[in-house]
Amino acid sequence: MDDQPLPLYGDGQQRRDWLHVDDHADAVAFVLDHGEMGGVYNISGQEERTNREVAERLLRELDKPWSLVRAVPDRPAHDRRYALDGSRLHALGWFPRVPSTRGSKTPCSGTATTKLDGVGSVMAIGIATTSSNTAGDWRAP
């Protein structure tokens, strides 16, 4: 980050589920090996944080000042929280392995859902990040 402004929607109190990208890849592979054909599995990092908390942490780790943060108007009807239920995947035995204390430099945020087709390959993977307009529980077609 070369001291460019860091936009933060509204008050930054929107909550998101954060997941390290390595855990996301591991979860997709796990679903391919252990998932039910046609099943839909939400991939949850079980790490809810506000956007403000994440911005503070990244700036601290990069040794950058809070003055880089620029409050931008919040989107109309912006969800305060994207709740994600990963219990179906957890019931199969998958859980994130990268602790947030180690993984904050390369997180992937938002909602991730994987669906298998009838022959065991991934039919669709959807990730709705906090920068997209997609909210809630993404479903594969």
pLDDT (0 to 100) of residue 66: 94
Encoded tokens for 113: 């859902």
pLDDT (0 to 100) of residue 1: 57
- Decide if pLDDT at 140 tops 90: no
Which ranges of 20-86 does DSSP label H, i.e. alpha helix?
21-34, 51-61
Q: What is the pLDDT of residues 90-109, one digit of tens each?
A: 999 999 998 766 655 544 44
pLDDT bin (cut points 50, 70, 90) of residue 82 is confident
First to last CA, the chain: 37
Q: Which residue has the higher pLDDT, 24 or 1?
A: 24
pLDDT (0 to 100) of residue 78: 81
pLDDT (0 to 100) of residue 119: 43
Residue-range domains of the chain with CATH: 6-128 (3.40.50.720)
- Decide if pLDDT at 110 tops 80: no
**DSSP string computed for 42-107:** EE--S-EEEHHHHHHHHHHHTT--GGGEEEEPPPTT--SB-----HHHHHHT----S-HHHHTTSE
